[in-house]
Structure 1
Amino acid sequence: MPVTQVSLSGGPAAVAYDRTGTGPGLVLVHGTGTDRAQWQPLTAAVADRFTVVAPDYSGSGGTTDHGGPLTVADLADEVLAAADHAGLDRFHLVGHSLGAVTAAHLAAHHPDRVRSLALHACWAHTDTRMWAEFTHWLDLLRSDAAHGTTHFARMLPLMAFGPRYWERTDTAANEDLVRALPPTVAPGTDRQTKVDLSVDLRPLLGRITAPTLVLASAHDRLIDAAQQQALLAGIPQARYQEIDAGHGAPGEDPAGFAAVIAAFLDERRTADEAAGAGLPGGPGAPGTPSVTAGR
């Protein structure tokens, strides 16, 4: 697993990432409380035609840092550092939830680096209701840490999954899931949730020049329609699509989620190839070796 160094606002970080496949660069940014493993279904679907870089940002997976407060800019710097270390000049960029916020921040500050942008469950700014939600998450995480409870894990399916999950599960299966979730929650989820509290992309949206897919979940109880409309109104080349799932679509419907994102990426790749964009010397160009995960 490659690791690269980057300086954050609070100190240094060692950013771990996976690099898989061959072709134009694609960078994937995970959400709060997860890690790069969130992207395995999408990576499997596109690695035959994209060089996929999936980093862990601070608080998740193999990445280590100073242990203090984080900002959206810090997470974007970590993602860009992984792309740089992997040798990607220009790349397609996909993010989920806080990862989508991070991806939008990166695209606004480095528009020359981003070929296309796909934002799932992104939001323009943390409003009063979202502040209350994230503060509740922090309360649950503190209680779990102090008392050995699993309140945060019990909340996750309620927050993340839509009606299709609840229609096909039963009480026993949901209880099994709740019991299985605590070991999968990233150790820095509380630090990442504090970043969620600070989000305000509104001054940056107009600086995003990449063709952008604003992908909403039809049953997202965390991100409302007004947030999606703000993204569409603020990003010049944005279009809208929905998936029939809740906020946690990558976990609720991995195949369907991967198919939607892959279709968008293939469309943008075809457009780039038609325009002759970035072919000489890019990942997957003639003479460029393919890369597999862990190398």
Structure 2
Amino acid sequence: MSLSFEVRGSGPGLLLAHGAGGSVAANFPFIDELAKERTVVAPDYPGSGGTPKAERPLELDRLVDDVVAAAVDSGVETFAVLGYSMGTAVAVRAAARYPERVSALVLTAGLARGDRHFHLNLDVWQHLLDDREALARFLLLNCFGPEALNSLDGWDEVLRGTADGVPAGTGDHIDLLRTIDVRADLPGISVPTLVVATTQDTLVPPHHSRELAAAIPGAKLVEVESGHLIGAQNPGAWLAEIQDFLG
């Protein structure tokens, strides 16, 4: 399906791939900074941002094709891909399916395949979709490190905003996450790759990022002190790593 997307800036292409239960606006708070030196293509998955929910279950290859089409339809023929969380699998599969288009990868707080710990998190996440107050507490607990969580002001407002901000397509995204396995793609990745591990992450713990880096030839691994939601907890350090690598 056609995805809602924005295009900002000019220069080398950069395609954004956001996380499950997120959006490009929610996951990448520094799009304007990235767009100062690049043409940034920012699509939202079905059920996120301005894209309506899908009428059938999401499949990784079809989602990848739609995300890449957003860039190509914008006139951006080649691009680096910045993937966050589930978007790392989208980025990896994009490099495997479109090697002539993908020039580099930045994989943040992601995974190649879920393990038992991750699937238990998915079980709880999905179970709480009908109880938004409890879901907000689960997400905040798993998306921020303890120090950052303790420093949040206006707690009632934070809880309310988190509950209200859950995209309509989150359940579909969770179902897709259960099926993702891009391990077979990793040894064939031949473009420069930066893997950013979030060291305080309890939703997608950092061992997943280390496994990605170990399996991709020549990948560089950096670790940033943050919970899963690095765009909220430590965006400056994340942006610095991205800019340094892509620059």
TM-score, normalising length: structure 2: 0.94
Alpha-carbon distance in 2 for matches of 1:263, 1:39: 19
1:264 Cα deviation after fit: 1.6
Out of 187, 201, 218, the residue aligned to residue 168 of structure 2 is: 187
8 Å CA contact 1:108, 1:209 repeated in 2: no
Q: State the 1:162 CA deviation.
A: 0.9
> What CA distance in whole angstroms lies between the structure 2 residues aligned with 1:157 and 1:48?
31
Query: 1:76 maps to which residue?
Result: 64
3-state DSSP of counterpart to 1:204 = helix
Q: Deviations over 1:202-252 (max 9, x none)?
A: 111112111101100110112234322321221112110011110110122
Q: CA separation in 2, counterparts of 1:124 and 1:26?
A: 21
Partner of residue 52 from structure 2, selected from 53, 60, 64 = 64
> Does residue 138 of the first structure (1) align with residue 126 of the second (2)?
yes
2:213 corresponds to: 232
- Given that 2:79 and 2:104 are in contact with CA atoms closer than 8 Å, whether structure 1 keeps it comes out as yes
**Structure 2 counterpart of 1:256, from 231, 237, 240:** 237
The count of aligned residue pairs is 247
Q: Secondary structure at the match of 1:214?
A: strand
Matches within 5 A, 1:157-168: 157-168=140-151
- Whether contact under 8 Å (1:109, 1:207) holds in the other structure is no
1:110 aligns with 2:98: yes
Shift of 1:40: 5.2
The alignment yields a C-alpha RMSD, in angstroms, of: 1.6
Of 191-200 and 61-70, more deviation after overlay is shown by 61-70
Give per-residue Cα distances to partners, 1:13-62, cap 9 Å, x unaligned.
Answer: 22110000010001111111111213553212121210000001112111
Aligned equivalent of 1:203, options 163, 179, 184: 184
Judged with a 3 Å threshold, the aligned counterparts in structure 2 of structure 1 residues 218 and 66 are, in CA distance, closer, same or farther, namely closer
Cα 1:189–1:174 shift into 2, 3 Å: same
CA distance in 1, matches of 2:37, 2:57: 37
Q: Structure 1 length as normaliser, TM-score?
A: 0.79
Q: Is 1:89 equivalent to 2:77 in the alignment?
A: yes
Q: Which has the higher contact order (CA 8 A, sep 6+)?
A: 1
Q: Choose which of 1, 4, 14 in structure 2 pairs with 1:26.
A: 14
Larger Rg: 1
User: Which secondary structure does the structure 1 equivalent of 2:207 belong to?
Assistant: helix
Change (3 A) 1:120 1:27: same
1:96–1:119 contact (8 Å) kept in structure 2: yes
Q: Distance in 2 between matches of 1:239 and 1:94?
A: 14
Structure 2: tracts of 5 or more residues without a match = none
Matched, 1:215 2:186: no
